[in-house]
Chains A and B, each alone.
Chain A
Amino acid sequence: MLSLAGTLAFFALWTVIAMSGLVQTQFLPTPRAVLDKFVDLTGNPFVGYTLQQHLLSSFGRFASGFVLAALVGVPLGLMMGWYRWLDDAVTPLFEALRFVAPIAWVPFAALWFGTGIGGPVLIIFSGAFPPCLINAYRGARFVETRYIEAAQTLGAPNWRVICEVLLPASVPSIVAGLRIGAGLGWQSLIGAELIVASSGIGYLMVKGQSNISTSTVMAGMIAIGIVGFAVDVLLRRLEAEINRRRGR
């Protein structure tokens, strides 16, 4: 009951402030106006595309960057957990690069790829890569030694130990890493699109901002929130499903 009251109070306060004339409605539209704008954007194109098309182009970039980060990060993390020399070689570089905010790659992304697809993919990659790598590495390092020893006693070569012992044992940790990486990658993409893009949900918001159309900006924020939430729920489901099957 109180939860409902809290939500209602939030929207009521928002509506009252917006309607009271304390703030111009151009700067603070009512929740109703934002909802109308949201529906309107799904039908009428804004800066070239409808809301769904903007979302689709953002999501396409996100998916390619994220898949790339997972495909590079997870195997590299597992191998670093197995080969000591690789761990020693990569860790100093990784530690140094980790502190570079993904957004700081934007100028180089623009320089190397222009406004093409490569730039956003690079930025999503730099956001999503570290959690993928770290979690795969941790997963591989905390595998029980007796499994590895058993495999080695049976004469398994290195690559079979990695594929058949380390990988399955670290799946829960890897999936957790993928979920964190997806969140960071999605955020980094929005940032990148705010700065360099010619389509996408971030671009829609920047255009809304320069037209001082607050309702467009807020509709964009809602769309971003929904997609981010949906991706997170999907990966949580996957995580729960995997844990359930392994518990069997």
Chain B
Amino acid sequence: MRKSSLTLLLTSARRGAWIGVATVAFLCAAWYVLTTVTGAISSGRFPAPIEVWQAMKQITGQGYADARLHEHVLHSVKLVLYGFMAAIAAGVPLGLLMGFSRRAEALVNPVFLLLRPIPPLAWIPLAIVWLGLGDAAKVLIIWLAAFVPSVINSYAGVRSIEPTLFEAARTLDIRGWMLVREILVPGAAPMIFTGLRLSLQACWTTLVAGELIGAIAGLGHVLYQSSLDIFPAMILVGMIAVAVTAGVMTKMLEWVELRTMPWRRA
């Protein structure tokens, strides 16, 4: 009885995977037929597979938009990391403080309520007016994209800690640095990481938008240049690179999350 239900589960899981593979294969075949065999979609609208392959070879080999693919990726990732790290360094302590002290919360919170409805993308023109088209403007908008969520989530994280823990800490006369290390940070960590995951996505979107508006390197710049050149295959390569990089960064953050909070592995 148990064995049969297990095999049923296995076959149904395998069937699901097969349907997934079949769909992807079908779409790839349709892509090939529509662009290459029948020409129903002209390559000025959407590139054929062979063109995408050639564009990929071009950007990894001789380079496109002044650099090779890995240089563009590294440039974009570097900017995201700078802004993201700076936002964590400034936002998490502020959020913890706001969660712990009512006075700090009352003082700072209204400013956040005012700034929060403005999406990070809307800061781009201001950043460009202030800092120009260079890397500094991008780091500023990435910082903004990650700062608000990291403050709000650290704050909510502290608020989600059970009051008995604080009472226990008071009874044991734990305060200052030890309180932060033993109660605030571990208690708020799950919420903080939720915030970080959301804001990493926002950072990446914001950076790509910023680079599309004006940049000298980076994946957004590849997209911009290929759109100017009307080079659909390179646009697609750029989009794939954007998606793959975002996926890899998200996975890496999840890995860090598990390493930091091994108790959540279950």
Tell whether B86 is near chain A: CB-to-CB under 8 Å. no
Whether the Cβ atoms of B121 and A232 lie closer than 8 Å is: no
Chain B: minimal CB distance from A177 (Å): 15
Within 8 A of A (CB), among B170-202: none
Interface string of B1-38 (1 = CB under 8 A from A): 00000000000000111011111100100000000000
Interface centre among B21, B123, B212, B244 (most CB of A within 10 A): B212
Interface string of A142-170 (1 = CB under 8 A from B): 00000000000000000000000000000
Interface string of B97-113 (1 = CB under 8 A from A): 00000010011111100
Number of interface residues of A (CB under 8 A): 59
Known: A101-B246, A104-B238. A93 touches B24 (CB 8 A): yes
Cβ-defined partner of A224 (8 Å) among B15, B19, B122, B213: B122
Interface string of A112-154 (1 = CB under 8 A from B): 1000000000000000000000000000000000000000000
Tell whether A19 is near chain B: CB-to-CB under 8 Å. no
In the complex, chain A residues whose CB is within 8 Å of the CB of B205: 101-103, 187, 191
Interface string of B114-140 (1 = CB under 8 A from A): 100111111111101110000000000
Whether the Cβ atoms of A107 and B119 lie closer than 8 Å is: no
Within 8 A of B (CB), among A194-248: 194-195, 202, 205-206, 208-209, 212, 214, 217-218, 220-222, 224-226, 228-229, 232
Report how far A88 CA is from B23 CA in the complex, Å: 9
Tell whether B216 is near chain A: CB-to-CB under 8 Å. no
Report how far A214 CA is from B45 CA in the complex, Å: 38
Whether the Cβ atoms of B227 and A107 lie closer than 8 Å is: yes
In the complex, chain B residues whose CB is within 8 Å of the CB of A187: 119-122, 205
Report how far A190 CA is from B195 CA in the complex, Å: 23
Whether the Cβ atoms of B121 and A5 lie closer than 8 Å is: no
Whether the Cβ atoms of B209 and A194 lie closer than 8 Å is: yes
Whether the Cβ atoms of A3 and B128 lie closer than 8 Å is: no
In the complex, chain B residues whose CB is within 8 Å of the CB of A2: 103, 106-107
Report how far A111 CA is from B107 CA in the complex, Å: 48
Report how far A193 CA is from B20 CA in the complex, Å: 36
Interface centre among B114, B122, B238 (most CB of A within 10 A): B122
Known: A106-B212, A187-B121, A232-B117. A100 touches B239 (CB 8 A): yes
Whether the Cβ atoms of A225 and B24 lie closer than 8 Å is: no
Known: A111-B230, A225-B118. A194 touches B124 (CB 8 A): yes
Number of interface residues of B (CB under 8 A): 54
Tell whether B208 is near chain A: CB-to-CB under 8 Å. yes
Tell whether A110 is near chain B: CB-to-CB under 8 Å. yes
Residue of B at shortest CB range from A207?
B125
Interface string of B228-266 (1 = CB under 8 A from A): 001010010011001110110010000000000000000
Report how far A229 CA is from B22 CA in the complex, Å: 43
Known: A107-B224, A221-B122. A228 touches B130 (CB 8 A): no
Residue of A at shortest CB range from B118?
A225
Whether the Cβ atoms of B246 and A99 lie closer than 8 Å is: yes
14 A-B interface contacts by CB (under 8 A): A2-B106, A93-B24, A93-B27, A96-B243, A103-B220, A107-B226, A188-B121, A194-B121, A194-B209, A195-B212, A205-B122, A205-B125, A206-B213, A228-B117
Whether the Cβ atoms of B107 and A91 lie closer than 8 Å is: no
Whether the Cβ atoms of B107 and A6 lie closer than 8 Å is: yes
Whether the Cβ atoms of A101 and B117 lie closer than 8 Å is: no
Whether the Cβ atoms of A214 and B243 lie closer than 8 Å is: no
Residue of A at shortest CB range from B22?
A89
Cβ-defined partner of B227 (8 Å) among A84, A96, A111, A214: A111
In the complex, chain B residues whose CB is within 8 Å of the CB of A7: 110-111, 114
Closest 9 CB pairs of A and B: A107-B227, A2-B106, A209-B125, A88-B19, A187-B119, A225-B117, A229-B117, A6-B107, A88-B16
Residue of B at shortest CB range from A9?
B107
Chain B: minimal CB distance from A235 (Å): 13
Report how far A77 CA is from B243 CA in the complex, Å: 22
Whether the Cβ atoms of A99 and B243 lie closer than 8 Å is: yes
Known: A3-B110, A6-B106, A99-B243. A107 touches B118 (CB 8 A): no
Cβ-defined partner of A104 (8 Å) among B124, B223, B232: B223
Chain A: minimal CB distance from B14 (Å): 11
In the complex, chain A residues whose CB is within 8 Å of the CB of B20: 88-89, 91-92
Whether the Cβ atoms of A194 and B223 lie closer than 8 Å is: no
Report how far A100 CA is from B16 CA in the complex, Å: 24
Residue of A at shortest CB range from B121?
A191
In the complex, chain A residues whose CB is within 8 Å of the CB of B123: 221
Tell whether B143 is near chain A: CB-to-CB under 8 Å. no
Chain B: minimal CB distance from A230 (Å): 9
Report how far A247 CA is from B242 CA in the complex, Å: 44
Interface string of A1-43 (1 = CB under 8 A from B): 1111111011000000000000000010000000000000000
